[in-house]
Amino acid sequence: MRLRVMRRLLDIQRALVRHGLDDFVRATHLYRPFRFLALLSPWTWFERRSGASRGERLRLSLEELGPIFIKFGQALSTRRDLLPPDIADELAKLQDRVPPFDSALAVATVEASLGAPLDALFAIFERTPLAAASIAQVHAAVLRDGREVVVKILRPGMRALIERDLEVLEALAELAERYSSDARRIRPREVVAEYRKTIIDELDLMREAANASQLKRNFAGSKLLYVPEVYWDLCRSNVMVMERIHGLVISRIEELRDLGTNFARLAENGVEIFFTQVFRHNFFHADMHPGNIFVQVEDPENPRYAAVDFGIVGTLQPRDQHYLAENFLAFFDRDYHRVAALHVESGWVPADTRIDELESAVRTVCEPIFNKPLKEISFGQVLLRLFETARRFDMRVQPQLILLQKTLLNIEGLGRQLYPDLDLWKTAQPVLRAWMRERIGPRSVFKRLRAQVPDTVEAIKTLPQLFQTAVRASSEGRLRLKVEDSGVERLREEIERRDARREASLGAAVLWLSGLVWIAAFQDSRWVGATLMLGAIALFVASRSRRR
């Protein structure tokens, strides 16, 4: 393992011990050899005497360790049902209350990137950040024409920090895959590779601006979700300016309740937005922790979501999208045989899996939670059973679906906070069925065919020329069929090597026979019989070798 990776692992365990999180170090086998060295350090003793709660100590250690660890804490914070309240409350602060970087540096970054002094760009620029998160921080501002905006500024040195921790993740994934059969099933190296693409993309604010524009176009005129406008003239790779939205952060439940918000409708709208993004648009916001979701309550009976932070979005391959939709619908219909068959067809489990056994296992996990509201479902128990099922049937993680699974967990966690009586299945089912009808309906089929007409016409135009060329080549004996197959090529090479060996054997036998005959011609006549006998044997062996 590289020295740089080992040094970072020591930094991680030192931060955990410094904040009094010894249990985490003890649970991490990799750190056990170094634990006692850290515990003997005087600064560790003083740090452990602080009166901070365990939740605060955990939050502080994640903040110290950097953006990847902060994002891990953000993801955990959405699942209050799986965490003790004190830890959940502290991790929630990671959503938008990470310590900011120096405002003077933020101003210098904006001026350098946009090529103008701050006063020429904005009528007002608030130096105190509106919010600060793991990758960037946001300042409120007003444009010269009076429009309210927010200015998002990338934290300095982010790429180097993230690359360092990605090296650690890649090294740990390689070790896990090498020494653990369970880890190989999870495919850790592929998971880390997928995560690398996601988080590196998040460092480009121009990409985030493009994501926001696409999402705004997808929900144009929608009463469910509002997406702020991007001001492209003021966007660069490390600075982005977009419309400021007003509303309440979704985690401020009591304030929303005081305003008379219809929580049942709000929760149902959230589920509808998610399934619409995934299946109808195939473009979904994949970082939906509470710090990125606002609620506009001008009409409390019809509250509307407003989203920010579009650095992470997800899309699906048509094949995965189809299998997911089919799986959901089969589950809604309690058709567990279909669920099992789809897992085999999609390649998510080995092809030799017995469908009847997988069907029984799926039924055992799903039946107890069907038609129950969120408050009656223990997702901790469900996840444990799913992991057991996955291990039994050698079900492999699909790295391309990880963003979707993470987002679904976020949505379910938000729904549980907003409206625990939400029936997730009843809300999602109509959206999915409508999408499936559209997908296989005559209008959709006609639309796809019409989209393919130009390519088909172009292909037809080239057919006469291709046919004429093929006929000419055939008549002149130049027509060849080239088969690109590595297995066939290896077989051909092996046959050629064996033929060469046999030719050499036959040649050697002939030369040997000739030599013997020549010797016999000049020696005593009694050698002639022996020479002819040996020559016959040599010819026989060579001919048998050639026939093989």
Q: What is the pLDDT of residue 510?
A: 46
Q: Is 289 exposed, middle or buried (0-12, 13-18, 19+ CB in 10 A)?
A: buried
Question: What local confidence, expressed as pLDDT, does residue 485 receive?
Answer: 54
**DSSP notation for 529-542:** HHHHHHHHHHHHHH
Cα separation, 267 vs 303, in Å, equals 10
Element (H, E) at 42: helix 42-48
- In three-state secondary structure terms, 369 is helix
Cβ pair 61, 21 in contact under 8 A = yes
Say which residue the tokens 């970072």 belong to.
8
Pairing of strands 131-132, 148-154: unpaired
Given the residues 81, 119, 204, 287, the one annotated as active site = 287
Largest Cα–Cα distance in the chain?
124
The reply to whether 287 belongs to the active site is yes
Report the helix count and the strand count for the chain, using DSSP H and E.
24, 11
Q: Which two tokens stand for residue 113?
A: 């990137």
Q: Looking at residue 49, what is its pLDDT?
A: 47
Give the closest residue to 154 by CA, choosing from 123, 193, 200, 118.
200
Query: Which residues lie across from 225 on neighbouring strands?
Result: 305
Label each residue of 404-461 as H, E or C.
HHHHHHHHHHHHHHHCCCCCHHHHHHHHHHHHHHHHHCHHHHHHHHHHHHHHHHHHHH
For 378, residues 6+ apart whose C-beta sits below 8 A from its C-beta are none
Strands 225-226, 148-154: pairing is unpaired
E-strand spans in 108-188? 122-125, 131-132, 136-143, 148-154
Q: What's residue 509's pLDDT?
A: 47
Classified as helix, coil or strand, 224 is coil
Q: Which long-range contacts (CB under 8 A, 24 or more apart) does 225-234 make?
A: 225/273, 225/304, 225/305, 225/306, 225/307, 226/296, 226/304, 226/305, 226/306, 226/307, 227/306, 227/307, 228/306, 228/308, 231/143, 231/149, 234/114, 234/121, 234/149, 234/151
Q: Give the list of residues 6+ apart from residue 516 with CB closer than 8 angstroms, or none.
A: 531, 534, 535
Per-residue pLDDT of the chain (548 residues; tens, 9 = 90+): 577 777 887 788 778 777 877 665 555 555 455 555 555 555 455 555 456 788 888 888 888 888 888 877 877 776 666 678 788 888 888 877 788 999 999 999 999 999 999 999 999 999 999 988 888 999 999 999 999 999 999 999 888 888 888 888 888 888 878 877 767 777 788 888 888 888 898 899 999 999 999 999 999 999 999 999 999 999 999 999 999 999 999 988 999 999 999 999 998 899 899 889 998 899 999 888 888 899 999 999 999 999 999 998 989 888 888 888 888 888 888 899 998 999 888 888 888 899 999 999 989 988 888 777 777 776 556 766 776 787 788 887 777 677 787 787 777 777 778 888 887 777 888 888 888 887 766 665 666 566 666 767 767 777 787 777 777 777 767 666 665 555 555 656 666 666 555 554 444 444 444 444 444 444 444 444 444 445 545 444 445 444 45
C-alpha 372/C-alpha 82 separation (Å) is 18
Question: Buried (b) or exposed (e) across 194-226, using 16+ Cβ within 10 A?
Answer: bbeebbeebbbbebbbbbbbebbebbeeeeebb
Query: Can you give the pTM of this predicted structure?
Result: 0.73
**What pLDDT does residue 254 have?**
92
What are the C-alpha distances in Å from 27 to residues 12, 21, 232, 361? 14, 10, 48, 31
Q: Which two tokens stand for residue 377?
A: 């479902």
pLDDT at 444: 59
Strands 136-143 and 122-125: antiparallel
